[in-house]
Structure 1
Amino acid sequence: MSLQDKVCIITGAASGIGRGIAERFVADGAKVAIADLDLDVATATAEELTRRGPGKAIGVKMNVTDEDQVNAGVAEVVKTWGGVDVLVSNAGIQIVHRLEDFPFAEWKKLLSIHLDGGFLTSKACLPHMYAKGSGSIIFMGSVHSKEASPLKSAYVTAKHGLLGLARVIAKEGAAHGVRANVICPGFVKTPLVEKQIPEQAQTLGIPEKDVIEKVMLGETVDKEFTTIADVAEVAHLFAAFPSNALTGQSLVVSHGWYMN
């Protein structure tokens, strides 16, 4: 299965998991739009990946909660490369509070980035996929799409919601050859997770070592973090899979933290 010359949009792709997925796709010959809030960083990332080849990349400014900006970014990609084959809705944040202390503004911000972002980018890309009669939409879920943890009410709610959105797209898109699936990673040691370690230690009143070994990795089979490369390989599978045999599904990549 190959992504040679496939046009891919990856949100939040200037760093972290999104960048890792972009690297994997470009290495397979894809044309990748690095969609990110920071255009300068997105463009620098795109230039670096293009130098490595064999695929190519461009930077696109995109706030996934802004419908006009999402539509403009997708239109730019279509103008540059003629269509869209793959969307990876990866942009996300984490905010942790006990439920009774969760500021409503922060709740809405997190849900907007994850859920509104997934909705708006899908809405913008689907007409172009329908016109081609094929496409793949991939949402970045989490083990928290299946499970729950203290302090993460907004995140858990958002990640559960992406499962439902993917299933609707899978049903609506099937007649047009469009698939939709969800990647559900365990803890990946990105800046997003690194930031959580001291926050949870303070909130829970435990050492940072215990946050890592007991809270984050306590239910894994080997006390190992999931890697960006692990997630990128699953993204490649979902992106390159050739038929609707694999749609409306979620795949957990978590060192056995969650098994189903």
Structure 2
Amino acid sequence: MTNQLAGRKVAITGGARGIGRATAEAFLAEGATVVLGDIDVNLVEQTAAELSKSSGGHATGLGLDVTDPDSFEKFIATAEQDLGGLDVLINNAGIMPTGSFLDEPLAVADRQFAINVRGVIIGSKLAGKRFVAQGSGHIVNIASVAGLIGSPGVATYCATKHAVVGLGSAIYQELEPQGVAVTTICPSFVNTELIAGLAPNWLTKQIAFVEPTDIADAIIDSVVKKYSGQRVVPTTSGLAARMLAPLPERLRNQVSHILGAHSVIGDADQTKRAAYLERAEGAEK
């Protein structure tokens, strides 16, 4: 424990597993106190208890539906009461159904926008108002490299993450003059259940695959440095995106196809993705 963030009060959505859990563990290691929110109430309570025990710090798990403003307001208010204030909000909750755009049920598309975009907007508004009032605070929104480039097989997901990238760019400019930092984290392929069954080639694995702890480290670094703006993790993915960006779209798509990026989703093992898709798509499937 380095205690770089001792005394900081942090709320994390989608905190029961994956990036959310890893980020909570990293904040606790730096001396922060943490409240985790998740739609899976039992699991988030269990996660918080485990992290509190292993770190010797303070973590609380609360039920949270990020698509419901009342649920989100209750989560933020309870976090403030539990922690004695709030300094950082991590908008991490998100889902990534995969498959053909034309075959995707509209309800599944709606669910992605509700969680991936509406949830981030609600959280950013609720935290942003509080942070402006106190003259300090940090909003961290988890987007994706898919918010910078388009990929077949995840068309709606790409649309939602492009929205999060655009939102972050705009509110960074609005809120930073009022003392509020806004960071947009754009992970590539993170080794969580979200990418179960995907089929990357050797090159894609080398330049684009990371662990949840890598994302957590980038978030911690951003909060410590009060960094506002966009960060791509890993940096090799950011470099690849910047190199492709100036190319005409047709050529950019051809290069991505040659490098194997198009087959990562298309060749996914749907059997291995079944459990995740059932949970992510929910009753609206």
Partner of 1:250: 230
More helix by share: 2
1:163, 1:4 → 2: CA distance?
A: 29
After superposition, the Cα gap between the structure-2 partners of 1:219 and 1:44, relative to the gap in structure 1 and judged at 3 Å, is closer
Partner of 2:102: 100
Q: For structure 2, which runs of at least 5 residues remain unmatched after alignment? A: 243-285
1:223 deviates by 5.8
TM-score, with length taken from structure 2: 0.79
Partner of 2:260: none
Partner of 2:271: none
Deviation beyond 6 Å, 4+ runs, structure 1 = none
Partner of 2:128: 126
Q: Which letter does structure 1 place at the counterpart of 2:179?
A: G
Residue 175 of structure 1 pairs with residue 159 of structure 2: no
Partner of 2:251: none
1:20 deviates by 0.4
Partner of 1:151: 153
Partner of 1:227: 211
After superposition, the Cα gap between the structure-2 partners of 1:107 and 1:43, relative to the gap in structure 1 and judged at 3 Å, is same
1:115, 1:166 → 2: CA distance?
A: 11
After superposition, the Cα gap between the structure-2 partners of 1:54 and 1:173, relative to the gap in structure 1 and judged at 3 Å, is farther
Q: For structure 1, which runs of at least 5 residues remain unmatched after alignment? A: 198-210
2:152, 2:203 → 1: CA distance?
A: 14
Residue 212 of structure 1 pairs with residue 190 of structure 2: no
Partner SS for 1:171: helix
1:191 deviates by 0.8
Partner of 2:166: 164
Q: Which letter does structure 1 place at the counterpart of 2:37?
A: A
Q: 2:12 aligns with which of 10, 15, 26?
A: 10
1:146, 1:50 → 2: CA distance?
A: 36
Taking only the aligned residue pairs, the percentage that are identical comes to: 32
Native 8 Å contact 2:11 2:86 kept in 1: yes
Partner SS for 1:116: helix
1:32, 1:104 → 2: CA distance?
A: 36
Q: Which letter does structure 1 place at the counterpart of 2:212?
A: I
Q: 1:57 aligns with which of 37, 56, 59?
A: 59
TM-score, with length taken from structure 1: 0.86
1:166 deviates by 1.0
State the Cα deviation string for residues 127-151 of structure 1 (Å, max 9, x = none). Answer: 2212221111111111111111111
2:170, 2:134 → 1: CA distance?
A: 20
The count of residues paired between Structure 1 and Structure 2 equals 238
